[in-house]
Structure formats: C-alpha cells, structure tokens
Amino acid sequence: MLGTLGDLTFTVSSNRIFTYKDLSIKSSVRMAQHDSLQTKPTLEFIGEGLDELQVKLDLRIEDKVNPYSEFLKFKEKMTKGEELTFFIGDKKIGKFVIADIGHSYRRIDNKGNVLAMDLDLNLKEVAPKPKAETKVVKADKKEVGKKVAQNLVKKAVTKKPVAAAMLMPLKPIADVTQKYLGIKPPRIIRPKRKGGRRK
C-alpha cells in the first residue's frame, strides 16, 4: 500500500494499479507587510499557513481502474467538503480537503467511454481548531453581599412576621443589610403569649 486519502487506497498490485504519478507538498507562513514612507516595508510574522498538496494521477483502463468513476469519487468528496486524512505509507501527513480538480480526457472509445484520464488534485490542509480558553471571573464581594442582603430583606418583609421570625435569625439580617445596603431591616414583631407569664 502506497498510501491513502480518506477511504481511497493507493496501491500497485497485479489486480489493480491506482496511484499518483506526482506529489508535491507546499508549506508556508503568514507575514504581514507594513509600508513606511521612503524606506523598505517591514514584515511581521503572524503564524503558520496551511499546507497545500498537489497530486497528479494517471488513470487508465488497462490498470483495471475505471477512470471516470474514480473522478466522480474525488468530485463528490470535494463538493461535500469532506475532510480526508492523507497517509504516505504509514506516515500521517495531515487532514485535507480537495480545493479543486483539473481533469483531462486522454483516450475515449467509439462509445464515449473514458479509457484514460489525467487528474490534478489541489488539496488544502484542515488545521485543528484552537482550544477555547476558560476565563475565571472573580466575584465582587460587595456585589455578592448586596444580593444576599436584598434576598434577606425580601424574605423578612412578609405578611406573616411570626413565620419569618421562626425561619431565620434576626442578627444576620441586620448585620448584612446594614453593611451592604446601609438600611435597617424591617422590624419583625414577635407575638405575645396569651395569658401572660406562668407563675
């Protein structure tokens, strides 16, 4: 096995010859050019560019390959934007998409069947997406305190002061509301016992 492009296998055997006759890989970097008056422009390195592959295939019916059918397979993968992992032997080159295809018919029989065809594939690298950075947002103590105080005041202001007094202590409410809101919490009236104190 010479290599693979997605689910397509390049191979040379007695049963089938399906391989590329030319392969070139182009790597690049991205540079920003800043013009300046009466001096040469300066360059700023931005980062790596996308790798590009150029693959040329010679497809012939004598190699037990249907040239037109193979062309349609490549075209379908291109129109779908399918990401194809490219291997040379067992060495992974990367993930690519087919950017464009050039094809030429070299031999056609009297029934219109394509007997030999040249394909020129131009592929562009699919770079992995950068990982999103998680930002830790520190909470403002004063804002948190104000929200807690407002919630406490809302709970304290109720039509049933007896229930409010039984559910929550008074001192924490007063401390928090005075500290963060600058107001005193509403007075909660405790009910008097019927019959007075026991003797």
User: Which amino acid type is present at position 38?
Assistant: Q
- Say which residue, 68 or 173, is predicted with more confidence: 68
H helices of 88-169, in order, are 141-156, 161-167
131 belongs to a structural domain? no
51 belongs to a structural domain? yes
Number of residues that this document lists for the chain:
199
Residue with the two structure tokens 């055997």: 13
Q: Are residues 86 and 8 in the same domain?
A: yes
In the prediction, which pLDDT does 21 show?
87
Residue with the two structure tokens 């509301």: 177
17 belongs to a structural domain? yes
Tokens of residue 198, six digits: 């026991």
Q: Are residues 84 and 8 in the same domain?
A: yes
CB atoms within 10 A of CB 71: 19
Q: Are residues 99 and 158 in the same domain?
A: no
In the prediction, which pLDDT does 197 show?
57
| Angle at alpha carbon of residue 16, lines to 15 and 21, rounded to 5° | 145
Top mean pLDDT of 11-20, 76-85, 177-186 is at 76-85
The pair phi, psi for residue 3, each rounded to 5°, is 165, 180
168 belongs to a structural domain? yes
Going from the C-alpha of 44 to that of each of 31, 32, 36, 119, the distances in angstroms are 5, 5, 13, 38
76 belongs to a structural domain? yes
In the prediction, which pLDDT does 124 show?
96
CA–CA separation, 175 and 24 (whole Å): 75
Q: Are residues 11 and 75 in the same domain?
A: yes
185 belongs to a structural domain? no
74 belongs to a structural domain? yes
pLDDT digits (tens, 9 = 90+) for 67-104: 999 999 999 999 999 999 999 988 999 999 999 999 99
In the prediction, which pLDDT does 171 show?
57
The mean per-residue pLDDT over the stretch 40-52 comes to: 93
pLDDT band at 165 (very low <50, low <70, confident <90, very high): very low
Q: Are residues 114 and 148 in the same domain?
A: no
Q: Are residues 115 and 174 in the same domain?
A: no
Rounded mean pLDDT of the chain?
81
Residue 172 has pLDDT above 90, yes or no: no
16 belongs to a structural domain? yes
What's the CATH code of the domain at 8? Answer: 2.40.30
**Range(s) of the domain holding residue 150:** 141-180
Say what the pTM is. Answer: 0.60
How many domains in the chain? 2
